[in-house]
């Protein structure tokens, strides 16, 4: 039975995802993260390489700026600047992300793999100073499975090189969707800790930031909150987060299972913020982890839609179904993408329609993707 007919993931695959999540939580340095990717993530996806970096996603302007590489498993560090130049030409993946709210896409499933070869050819045509042989295994690069974190502008891809000509499938997309939160949490944690070696330097950096940040303990006690954070969040006399925020923080810290997880939000007066939580490595001699809490304004369409769906009472699974249906996926495509049965999908859609007050797929799409307001002259 292949991924086109299976409606559930085998237990051993699910247990494999759990094992990888546990390993990612133990990664506290770049070398540990790279070892985890190389020795566990890549074999799990039957891939040869992985790259990860920063992008600037703007769904409002329908664009994604080129990636700035943080690192790669196999590509030498001295070649990363060339990789950043190549990323300008790899347009099909970012264009696909701007046209959907999905968080994981792949060649073969969402994009023809021939597009990649055309894009690479265009780069070398316009940059005669480089030869394909100058880039590690460029001639062997066939296809990628790519995940994105729109809030923190992170992207991570796993790649297949010849002679591994296996096509990416919906199963692997689903597995990456389950691993994505833990992968990006590890990436954020390591990037922060490499840039800001100690809590002292971290606090100094956060003090200069216009974005609302705080360092908190698991019990909700605030160790530090910058001016932007204190302007939004009323801090109790005992230096604790408000109860609503503590509850949301506890919920986010408990999300260890590879299941669809709800976003956490905090409303203060007329503004709504999404909670972004990153677990930092405990200070030397301390057993209690510290959490970096960021409040991100809900202004992008993807996050706003998630909040609309959640406040309408949709479960995390129903949110996934609604997003795919809103992207125009057929019932068959949704069951294949999420590995659920047609009857399960039918029940999900029934509940979605009831909660959103719609009666058809057309009305659902209109609810999720309202027509843009006319622009004045």
- Whichever domain contains 252, its CATH number is 3.30.450.20
Least confident span in 37-46, 75-84, 139-148, 325-334: 75-84
With beta carbons less than 8 A apart as the criterion, state whether 356 and 365 touch. no
Number of domains in the chain: 3
pTM of the model: 0.72
Provide the pLDDT for residue 114: 95
Q: Residue 297 forms beta bridges with which residues?
A: 273
Report the C-alpha gap between 56 and 64 in whole angstroms: 6
Provide the pLDDT for residue 35: 95
Provide the pLDDT for residue 52: 86
> Considering 274, 298, 322, which residue would you say is the last residue of a domain?
298
Residue 2 contacts by C-beta under 8 Å, 6 or more apart in sequence? 169
> Considering 252, 271, 298, which residue would you say is the last residue of a domain?
298
Provide the pLDDT for residue 110: 96
Residue 370 contacts by C-beta under 8 Å, 6 or more apart in sequence? none
Q: Tell whether 190 is covered by a domain.
A: no
If asked whether residues 43 and 75 sit together in one domain, one would say: yes
Task: Identify which of 187, 186, 236, 224 has the alpha carbon closest to the alpha carbon of residue 54.
Answer: 187
Q: Tell whether 4 is covered by a domain.
A: no
DSSP 8: S
Whole-number mean pLDDT of the chain? 84
Provide the pLDDT for residue 220: 85
If asked whether residues 108 and 85 sit together in one domain, one would say: yes
Provide the pLDDT for residue 59: 38
Q: What percent of the chain has pLDDT over 70?
A: 85
Provide the pLDDT for residue 197: 57
With beta carbons less than 8 A apart as the criterion, state whether 42 and 48 touch. yes
Mean pLDDT along residues 296-319 = 87
If asked whether residues 201 and 166 sit together in one domain, one would say: no
Please tell me which residue, 143 or 99, carries the higher pLDDT value.
143
- Give the CATH number of the domain where residue 19 resides: 3.30.450.80
Report the C-alpha gap between 75 and 50 in whole angstroms: 9
pLDDT at 5 over 60: no
With beta carbons less than 8 A apart as the criterion, state whether 216 and 229 touch. no
If asked whether residues 210 and 358 sit together in one domain, one would say: no
Report the C-alpha gap between 372 and 322 in whole angstroms: 20
Q: Tell whether 210 is covered by a domain.
A: yes
Residue 199 phi, psi dihedral angles, 5° rounding: -60, -30
Max mean pLDDT among 78-87, 146-155, 341-350 falls in: 341-350
If asked whether residues 106 and 150 sit together in one domain, one would say: yes
Q: Tell whether 5 is covered by a domain.
A: no
Least confident span in 264-278, 332-346, 349-363: 264-278
**Domain around 50:** 11-180
């Amino acid at each position: 039975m292949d991924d086109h007919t299976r409606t559930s993931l085998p237990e051993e695959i699910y247990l494999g995802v759990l094992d990888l999540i546990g390993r990612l939580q133990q990664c506290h340095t770049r070398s540990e993260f790279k070892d985890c990717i190389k020795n566990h993530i890549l074999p799990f996806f039957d891939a040869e390489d992985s790259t990860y970096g920063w992008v600037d996603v703007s769904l409002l302007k329908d664009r994604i700026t080129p990636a700035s590489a943080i690192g790669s498993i196999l590509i030498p560090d001295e070649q990363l600047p060339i990789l950043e130049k190549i990323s300008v030409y790899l347009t099909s993946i970012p264009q696909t992300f701007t046209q959907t709210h999905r968080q994981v896409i792949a060649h073969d499933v969402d994009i023809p793999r021939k597009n990649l070869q055309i894009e690479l050819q265009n780069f070398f045509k316009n940059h005669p100073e480089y030869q394909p042989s100058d880039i590690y295994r460029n001639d062997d690069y066939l296809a990628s499975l790519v995940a994105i974190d729109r809030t923190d502008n992170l992207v991570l891809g796993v790649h297949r090189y010849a002679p591994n000509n296996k096509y990416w499938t919906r199963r692997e997309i689903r597995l990456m969707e389950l691993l994505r939160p833990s992968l990006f949490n590890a990436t954020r944690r390591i990037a922060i800790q490499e840039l800001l070696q100690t809590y002292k330097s971290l606090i100094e950096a956060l003090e200069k930031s216009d974005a609302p940040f705080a360092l908190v303990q698991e019990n909700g006690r605030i160790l530090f909150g910058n001016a932007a954070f204190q302007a939004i969040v009323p801090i109790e006399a005992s230096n604790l987060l408000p109860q609503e925020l503590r509850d949301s923080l506890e919920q986010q810290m408990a999300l260890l299972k590879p299941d669809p997880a709800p976003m956490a939000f905090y409303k203060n007066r007329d503004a709504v913020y999404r909670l972004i939580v990153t677990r930092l490595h405990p200070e030397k001699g301390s057993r209690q982890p510290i959490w970096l809490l960021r409040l991100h304004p809900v202004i992008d369409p993807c996050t706003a839609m998630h909040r609309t769906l959640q406040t309408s009472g949709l479960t995390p699974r129903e949110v996934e179904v609604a997003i795919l249906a809103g992207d125009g996926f057929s019932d068959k495509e949704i069951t294949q993408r999420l590995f659920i049965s047609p009857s399960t999908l039918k029940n999900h859609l029934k509940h979605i329609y009831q909660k959103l007050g719609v009666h058809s797929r057309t009305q659902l799409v209109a609810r999720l993707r309202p027509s843009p307001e006319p622009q004045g002259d």
